[in-house]
Structure 1
Amino acid sequence: MMTVGDVDETRNGFDTSKMLTEWETGTVSDLPDGRTQHTFVMEAVDKEIEIAPGVMFPAWTYNGKVPGPALRATEGERRKIVFRNYDSQPHSIHFHGIHSARMDGVPGAGVVNPGEEFVYEFDAKPFGCHFYHCHALPLKRHIHKGLYGLFVVDPDPARHAEHADVARSRLLGTPENAGWQELAMVMNAFDTNFDDENEVYAVNTVAHAYTKRPIRILRDKPVRIYLANAVEFDPINSFHLHGNFFDYFDQGTTLTPTSRTVDLITQCQGQRGILEFSFKDHEPGLYMFHAHQSEFAELGWMSMFEVVEQVA
């Protein structure tokens, strides 16, 4: 029930282990009004990637990765995304969030032809775990080919006095946030013969990547997962954790859980949320997590946490 052999992640140009914790914060500058601006450069490029040992896929990528970079900023800051299209097809970036219609990344409002550039600008709001993807037509093909990623807005503790401690724990760079083990995960799948049905499923693109190289978790530090579902052609995906339960924040736009003490959640395409849990009362060892659609798990969406003691 596992792929045989290893994927050449050096050739892919992205490491699935590092992808879990690589947050792109862009170039930071100060605006005249005293606010902070984060500037990101995003480029659409054709790239063949290996999604399972010996299985190549002709992807469309943001910055050479599938999923694209996990963007992160703080609530109320300004975001500027310089998007350049080096692909052979028109592309865009549609951000799930609050912005003007002219920044929506849809036909007539930010779709970029090959060789051209567009700049998206908007404030980072609301806080939460968001999603971005191409919105050029045909939509199902542009998403399925790999043009999507996470877009996280951390809450500003000053705006949430009633839950300031929780907000600080989500704010990248704070001591409270450093006490968490945060992971970025995008559930995705690939239609390798282009018949509108998927043959390979994964978290962060490579089938069974985290089964062969389990994700190391320190037993005494809580875990926070930013999870999004980018699977095309299947209406529902899911996340099931073995031997433990978690609190879930649907969309990530609340500082109190929308579901407490659950071990399984479902997401439709584009849905996302935040999972929080701890292994502090568990013995060290391997703990499985996977889609609870058995077919998805068998075809690549199966993973492991390796819980270890804190190293002195």
Structure 2
Amino acid sequence: MEGENAVVGQVDHARNGFDPHEILTDWDVGEVSIDAQGRRVREWVVTAVDKEVEVAPGVMFPAWTFNGRIPGPTLRCTEGDRLRIVFNNGSAHPHTMHFHGIHSWRMDGVPYAGLVQPGGTFTYEFEAKPFGCHLYHCHAMPLKRHIHKGMYGSFIVDPDPSRHPDAVAVAESRLLGSARNAEWQEIMICMNAFDLNFDDENEIYAANTIPFAYQQKPIRIERGRKLRIYLFNITEFDPINSFHIHGNFFDYYDTGTTLTPTLRTVDTIMQCQGQRGIIEMDWSEHEPGQYMFHAHQSEFAELGWMSHFEVV
């Protein structure tokens, strides 16, 4: 440790094949086409990969991953899209992709519907609904081990403004690529942790996998643009995780499935594993500077889930 609480040294993000600062905003919108019925189709190819990941400076973790990264790719689409996910299992273990959303049991990504053996392929196909901030993860047994070792990612369904005539402006603000959406700064934060010695107790906690990544290099926020955070918790071996902001308050949309806040003017929210939501906050009246955010479980913060925004 150096200073008040930090790790010594730097993680080699190039060797890992992913960077926590890039993960904040690297939305994967898939390959888009129009089918014979005139529906917009989005298709992704996702591959399970067994991989050594440096989860802290000099600390290697035998991970199971989607596309070689933790969390997996942030899949983003629009309400009503037809989604097609071609899942290839390049791992030595059976895996699935279970999506939180509304779909047929045949597409559920569980041991009796969508389990893929090593070397196999399965295609999940369903409509994107409901809109909101969701996730996907492996649902093979033992479930806790598949999740803990890194098989999860964020799944964001933007609202279709045409389906929400009473809240068109709000829906447009969430629709990636729209003029109103461009007025916002948007980031994705995955709250996760790692059990390094496999005793079912975590030694490292993080936002987007790498402890203290956003303390060592704060996230730049433009004061004149509102901030939207897609937040989800996939921490194994602890019943809850939390998000706390310093010097500000925010509105919170639990699961992101409403266009009006479920909580207003709060500075801390808790999520159990698999829970997620959207945070919106305004920095326009703040002076520039560094504003801390972290888990409000002190142990988690001291072991890596400690971050800063650099408001400019």
Range into which the TM-score falls when normalised by the shorter chain: over 0.9
User: Which residue does 1:175 correspond to in 2?
Assistant: 179
Q: Report the TM-score, using the length of structure 2 for normalisation.
A: 0.98
1:210 and 2:214 matched: yes
The one of 288, 292, 305 aligned to 1:288: 292
User: Which residue does 1:87 correspond to in 2?
Assistant: 91
Structure 1 segments unaligned to the other structure (5+ residues)? none
Secondary structure of 2:9 counterpart: coil
Alpha-carbon separation, structure 2, partners of 1:163 and 1:292 = 33
1:197 and 2:201 matched: yes
Alpha-carbon separation, structure 2, partners of 1:299 and 1:50 = 16
Alpha-carbon separation, structure 2, partners of 1:24 and 1:90 = 25
Listed one character per residue, the Cα deviations across residues 120-155 of structure 1 (whole Å, up to 9, x for unaligned) are: 000000000001000000000000000001000000
Q: CA deviation at 1:39?
A: 0.1
User: Which residue does 1:231 correspond to in 2?
Assistant: 235
1:256 and 2:260 matched: yes
User: Which residue does 1:45 correspond to in 2?
Assistant: 49
Percent of pairs with identical residues: 67
User: Which residue does 2:8 correspond to in 1?
Assistant: 4
One-letter amino acid matched to 2:111: P
Secondary structure of 2:214 counterpart: helix
Alpha-carbon separation, structure 2, partners of 1:14 and 1:179 = 27
User: Which residue does 1:98 correspond to in 2?
Assistant: 102
Listed one character per residue, the Cα deviations across residues 34-62 of structure 1 (whole Å, up to 9, x for unaligned) are: 11000000000001111111111110000
Q: Would you say how many aligned residue pairs link Structure 1 and Structure 2?
A: 308
One-letter amino acid matched to 2:30: G
The one of 96, 120, 124 aligned to 2:124: 120
Cα RMSD between the aligned structures? Answer: 0.4
Q: CA deviation at 1:32?
A: 1.1
Q: CA deviation at 1:166?
A: 0.2
The one of 17, 23, 34 aligned to 1:30: 34
Alpha-carbon separation, structure 1, partners of 2:191 and 2:167 = 30
Alpha-carbon separation, structure 2, partners of 1:51 and 1:292 = 21
Alpha-carbon separation, structure 2, partners of 1:176 and 1:59 = 39
Alpha-carbon separation, structure 2, partners of 1:132 and 1:269 = 12
Secondary structure of 1:296 counterpart: helix
The one of 273, 280, 287 aligned to 1:276: 280
1:166 and 2:170 matched: yes
User: Which residue does 2:305 correspond to in 1?
Assistant: 301
Alpha-carbon separation, structure 2, partners of 1:263 and 1:210 = 19
User: Which residue does 1:55 correspond to in 2?
Assistant: 59
User: Which residue does 1:139 correspond to in 2?
Assistant: 143
Q: Report the TM-score, using the length of structure 1 for normalisation.
A: 0.98
Alpha-carbon separation, structure 2, partners of 1:55 and 1:181 = 32
Listed one character per residue, the Cα deviations across residues 45-103 of structure 1 (whole Å, up to 9, x for unaligned) are: 00111111111111000000100000000000100000000000000000000000000
Secondary structure of 2:162 counterpart: helix
One-letter amino acid matched to 2:260: T
Secondary structure of 2:52 counterpart: strand
> Stretches of 4+ moved more than 2 A in 1?
none
Structure 2 segments unaligned to the other structure (5+ residues)? none
User: Which residue does 2:114 correspond to in 1?
Assistant: 110
Q: CA deviation at 1:278?
A: 1.1
One-letter amino acid matched to 2:49: V
Greater mean deviation of Cα atoms: 49-58 or 298-307: 49-58
User: Which residue does 1:74 correspond to in 2?
Assistant: 78
Q: CA deviation at 1:108?
A: 1.2
Q: CA deviation at 1:256?
A: 0.1
Alpha-carbon separation, structure 2, partners of 1:247 and 1:13 = 34
One-letter amino acid matched to 1:222: K
One-letter amino acid matched to 1:180: W
1:265 and 2:265 matched: no
Alpha-carbon separation, structure 1, partners of 2:310 and 2:78 = 31
